[in-house]
C-alpha cells in the first residue's frame, strides 16, 4: 500500500506517522514544498525574543529521525502541482533539482494547511509587508527586528496571532500599533471577557484603532480613514484561507469557509483522498455539523485518524470532532474559550443564561492573581453550552475542566459537584469554577 501525503506539518506528518505505526510495511511519501520539516508554529511569536535561538528549534522532529526512525520518505522542497484522481497520481515539482515528476498513490492525504489573507490595496504587495504564518515568515520578521530595529510596528488585524505579537513586541521595547477594520476585537469572545483585554491594552498604553479602513501604504506610512500611521514594519494578519487550489482543480468539493469538504471519516469526494488539518473542515460536536476552526491539536488528531483509517480501511472510525477549545497569552493574562460562543448560541436559538464571576486564582499563597469566568448554559436544564475565562495564573488548565464538562454534556449542577483539588498554592478552597457553577445554579 502506497500513500502520498501533500504537506508535511501537523496534519501531514501525523497521518504519515500513524500509517507507519500501524503498518510498518506501508510505503509513505510526504511531499513538502517548503524547506522545513514539521514545526510548532505556536512557538513562533516567542522565538522572536531570542536573537540567537534558531527558528529550527521549533521543529517537531529532525529530517533524519523522520526518515530513519519513522521510516517515512519525507521530501523537502517538493511541491505538488496537480492531482489526477482518475489515474491516482500527482504531479510534483522538485524545487531543488528543478524537475517535474509524477508519483502514483493508492491513498492520498491532502494536508496543505492555510495561507494568510492578503490586503488587496496599493502598497500592500510590497516586499516589506510581513505575515506571520510560516517559519520563513518568522525568519524575515526576526531579521528586520534585529537588523533594522524598528521603533514602531503596525499590526493590521487583531486576531490572536497579532495579539500574541503585540505582547512580544512590547516586551522587546518596540511600540505596536493595531489597526482593526471591525468595530471590535475578538468577535467570538464575550463582551465581559473582551473588556479585560481592552483594559490591558489601555494599561500598557498600546494604540488600538477599530472600525478603521486602510486606504494604502506609501513607503513607511499606512494611510487610513482615521489618519496616517508610520511604522518601520507592517505585519498583516487578517484571517486565513484554506489552501485548496490543486484539490478543487481536480474536482474536489469545498465546504465551510472554503475548506476541503470532508465526511466524518475525513474522506473527501475524490476516491481514496482524505484531508486533515487547516485545509479541511472540522466537525463541531455541539452543532452536529462541520465548521472551520484551524488549530494545532485538531490538525494532529485529524492527521492521526486519517492515517489509521487508511490502514484500517474496512473498519474506519469517525472523527469525534472539536468543542472549539482555544487559549492564548496576552501579557500576564490568559484568554481561553471552549464550547459555543454567545453568538453561536443565539444563532441556533437555544434559550440561555450567562453568568460571570471574578475570583482570586489561589488561596493564601503568594503569586496568585484574579480571574473572570463566564459560563453560558441552557435555561431550564443548566446544560453547559460554553465557557470563557480571562485572568492571571492558573487559567488555561481550568478551562480544560470546562472543556471536559462540555464533552460529557454535563450541567452546571454537575460542575458544582466535581471534586476539584485544593491547596492554597493552586486554588482558593472554593475553586473559581465551583464559585461560578454555584452562581449559575441560582439562575437556571
List residues binding ligand FAD (CB under 6 A): 6-7, 9-12, 31-34, 41-42, 44-45, 79-80, 111-113, 132-133, 161, 243, 246, 277-278, 294-297, 299
Q: Residue 70 or residue 133: which is nearer to ligand FAD going by CB?
A: 133
112-151 as b/e: b if 16+ CB within 10 A: bbbbbeebebebbeeeebbbbbbbebbebbbebbeeeebe
Which C-beta is closer to ligand FAD: that of 123 or that of 303?
303
Give the nearest distance from C-beta 221 to ligand FAD in angstroms. Answer: 26
Q: Which is nearer to ligand FAD, 277 or 339 (CB)?
A: 277
Q: 44 Cβ partners below 8 Å, 6+ apart?
A: 55, 58, 132, 135, 137, 138
Exposure class string for 152-168: b at 16+ Cβ within 10 A, else e: bbbbbbbbbbbbbbbbb
For the bound state, the minimum distance from the C-beta of residue 136 to ligand FAD, rounded and expressed in Å, comes to 9
Cell 510526504 locates to 30
Neighbours of 319 (CB within 10 A): 24
Q: Within a 13 Å sphere around the CA of 231, how many CA atoms are in the beta-carbon half?
A: 26
Minimum separation from the CB atom of position 294 to ligand FAD (A): 5
Nearest distance from residue 262's CB to ligand FAD, in Å?
A: 13
66-91 residues labelled b (16+ CB within 10 A) or e (exposed): bbeebbbebbbebbbeebebeebbbe
| Residue number with CB closer to ligand FAD (45 or 368) | 45
Q: How far is the CB of 135 from ligand FAD (least distance, A)?
A: 9
Whether 337 and 325 have beta carbons less than 8 Å apart is answered as yes
Q: φ, ψ for residue 41 (rounded to 5)?
A: -60, -30
Nearer to ligand FAD, 115 or 350 (CB): 115
DSSP class of residue 254 equals: B
- Closest CB to ligand FAD among 119 and 279? 279
Instruction: Give the nearer residue to ligand FAD in terms of CB position, either 44 or 208.
Output: 44
Nearer to ligand FAD, 305 or 436 (CB): 305
Torsional class of 178: left (φ above 0), alpha (ψ -120 to 50), beta (otherwise)? beta
Q: Find where cell 510596528 sits.
A: 153
Minimum distance of ligand FAD from residue 217's CB (angstroms): 22
* Min separation Cβ 357 and ligand FAD, Å: 26
The CB-of-31 to ligand FAD minimum distance in angstroms stands at 5
**Rounded least distance, CB 322 to ligand FAD, Å:** 11
Q: Which residues pair with 150 in a beta bridge?
A: none
Q: Exposed (0-12), middle (13-18) or buried (19+): which is 387, by Cβ within 10 Å? A: buried
- Residue with Cβ nearer ligand FAD (34 or 350): 34
In angstroms, the CA 128 to CA 355 distance is 46
Amino acid at each position: 500500500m502506497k500513500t502520498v501525503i501533500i504537506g508535511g506539518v501537523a496534519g501531514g506528518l501525523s497521518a504519515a506517522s500513524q500509517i507507519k505505526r500501524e503498518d510498518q510495511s506501508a510505503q509513505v511519501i510526504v511531499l513538502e514544498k517548503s524547506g522545513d520539516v514539521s514545526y510548532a508554529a505556536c512557538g513562533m511569536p516567542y522565538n522572536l525574543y531570542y536573537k540567537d535561538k534558531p527558528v529550527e528549534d521549533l521543529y517537531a522532529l529532525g529530517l533524519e529521525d523522520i526518515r530513519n526512525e519513522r521510516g517515512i520518505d519525507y521530501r523537502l522542497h517538493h511541491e505538488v502541482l496537480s492531482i489526477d484522481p482518475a489515474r491516482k497520481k500527482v504531479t510534483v515539482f522538485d524545487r531543488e533539482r528543478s524537475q517535474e515528476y509524477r508519483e502514483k498513490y493508492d491513498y492520498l492525504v491532502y494536508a496543505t494547511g492555510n495561507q494568510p489573507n492578503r490586503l488587496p490595496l496599493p502598497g500592500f504587495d510590497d516586499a516589506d509587508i510581513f505575515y506571520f504564518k510560516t517559519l520563513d515568515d518568522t525568519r524575515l520578521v526576526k531579521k528586520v527586528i534585529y537588523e533594522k530595529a524598528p521603533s514602531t510596528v503596525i499590526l493590521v488585524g487583531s486576531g490572536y496571532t497579532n495579539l500574541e505579537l503585540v505582547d512580544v513586541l512590547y516586551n522587546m521595547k518596540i511600540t505596536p500599533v493595531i489597526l482593526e477594520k471591525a468595530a471590535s476585537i475578538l468577535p467570538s469572545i464575550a463582551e465581559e471577557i473582551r473588556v479585560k483585554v481592552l483594559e490591558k491594552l489601555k494599561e500598557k498604553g498600546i494604540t488600538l484603532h477599530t472600525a478603521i479602513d486602510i486606504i494604502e501604504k506609501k513607503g513607511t506610512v499606512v494611510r487610513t480613514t482615521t489618519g496616517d500611521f508610520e511604522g518601520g514594519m507592517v505585519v498583516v494578519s487578517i484571517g486565513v484561507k484554506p489552501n485548496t487550489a490543486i484539490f478543487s482543480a481536480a474536482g474536489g468539493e469545498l465546504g465551510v469557509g472554503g475548506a476541503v469538504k470532508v465526511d466524518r471519516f475525513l474522506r473527501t469526494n475524490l476516491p481514496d483522498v482524505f484531508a486533515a488539518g487547516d485545509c479541511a473542515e472540522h466537525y463541531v460536536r455541539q452543532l452536529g455539523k462541520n465548521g472551520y476552526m484551524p488549530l494545532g491539536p485538531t490538525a494532529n488528531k485529524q492527521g492521526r485518524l486519517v492515517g489509521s483509517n487508511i490502514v484500517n480501511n474496512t473498519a474506519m472510525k469517525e472523527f469525534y470532532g472539536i468543542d472549539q477549545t482555544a487559549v492564548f497569552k496576552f501579557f500576564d493574562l490568559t484568554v481561553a474559550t471552549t464550547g459555543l460562543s454567545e453568538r453561536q448560541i443565539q444563532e441556533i436559538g437555544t434559550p440561555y443564561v450567562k453568568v460571570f464571576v471574578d475570583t482570586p486564582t489561589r488561596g493564601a499563597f503568594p503569586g496568585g492573581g484574579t480571574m473572570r469566568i463566564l459560563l453560558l448554559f441552557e435555561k431550564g436544564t443548566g446544560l453547559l453550552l460554553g465557557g470563557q475565562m480571562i485572568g492571571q495564573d492558573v487559567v488555561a488548565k481550568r478551562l480544560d475542566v470546562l472543556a471536559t464538562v462540555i464533552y460529557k454534556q454535563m450541567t452546571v449542577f454537575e460542575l458544582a459537584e466535581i471534586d476539584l483539588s485544593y491547596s492554597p498554592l493552586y486554588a482558593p478552597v472554593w475553586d473559581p469554577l465551583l464559585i461560578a457553577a454555584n452562581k449559575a445554579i441560582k439562575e437556571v
